[in-house]
Amino acid sequence: MTERLFIFGLGFSGLEIARLAKAAGWSVAGTCTSEQKAERLRADGIAAHVFDGTAALPATAIDGASHVLCTIPPGTTGDPALRTGSNLLKRARWLGYLSTTGIYGDHGGGWVDEETPPKPGQPRSIERLAAERAWQALGLEAGVAVDIFRLPGIYGPGRSAIDQVRAGTARCIDKPGQVFSRIHVEDIAGTVLMAITGVHAGTTYNVADDLPASTSDVVAFACDLLGKPAPTVIPWEQAELTMSAMARSFYAETRRVRNDRIKNQLGVVLRYPTYREGLRAIAART
């Protein structure tokens, strides 16, 4: 019997997961926000349904799904998938949720792992932690395994320093001590597929690469790959004056994220263990 994966949110990460699962022989369905995109996905063999987060999906959309994954960010009213369809989700054998390493809050550049107590400082991270706990509560109620995947900065083809340098939008911002952890979208998909094909009780995983780094280092490396000069370094005090509130919030926290659990428990071997391998691959294919 073909396993069926249903993904709430066929966006950048969700669609990569869907394509990898489909290539591995899974039947895949999920949601997107427009009929135009749904039609394109259906043409690719993914049973897509339009979902705006308010009206519940018909039972037939999710019915028969052995595995359900949610990638949609929550809002102040909670997780839309849980809010509109929690009774249907209880029929699955596995539940998964893409969260954020932002739930750890600021650690002054120190390392965090899955045992680090959550200390979210940003409103969106507080909402993510609440959503994590809501999915875990649903799993406990239904007797279903729940995996939480905490993600740092996500990059990949079309959304990387390579693309920013080519577009002329890359910036080198100097904020001493500021580093970010990252993960290539293909490694997110690979990790999720390892989790849904393995046998375990459900847990929390940090899905990050091996090398936290400053944005300036990443941009400089992308420029070197493309044979372009690196942008002039902008001091933080100057850069923050022209940043959006959202951009400033990312620079308000810094931490390094350990990824030992995905390697030791799931057997994950990262395709792109650092941003260097990831950016080389993006530069070569685009």
Using the predicted structure, report yes or no on whether residue 196 has a pLDDT greater than 80: yes
H or E element, residue 21: helix 12-23
Which CA distances in Å does 222 have to 191, 219, 282? Answer: 25, 5, 10
DSSP structure string for 74-97: PBTTB-HHHHHHHHHHTTSSEEEE
Q: Do 128 and 282 touch, CB atoms closer than 8 A?
A: no
pLDDT score of 277:
98
pLDDT score of 43:
97
DSSP structure string for 207-246: ---S--B-HHHHHHHHHHHHT-PPPPEEEHHHHGGG--HH
Q: Do 232 and 238 touch, CB atoms closer than 8 A?
A: no
Task: Give me the amino acid identity at 146.
Answer: V
Strand pairing category for 111-112 and 256-257: parallel
pLDDT score of 189:
98
Dihedral of alpha carbons 129, 107, 116, 153, sign: positive
What is the tens place of the pLDDT at every residue in 22-39? 999 999 999 999 999 999
What is the tens place of the pLDDT at every residue in 59-103? 889 888 999 999 999 988 889 999 887 788 888 999 999 999 999
pLDDT score of 88:
81
- The CA distance from 265 to 284, in Å, is 32
Percent of the chain with pLDDT over 90: 83
Q: Tokens in use for 22?
A: 């489909």
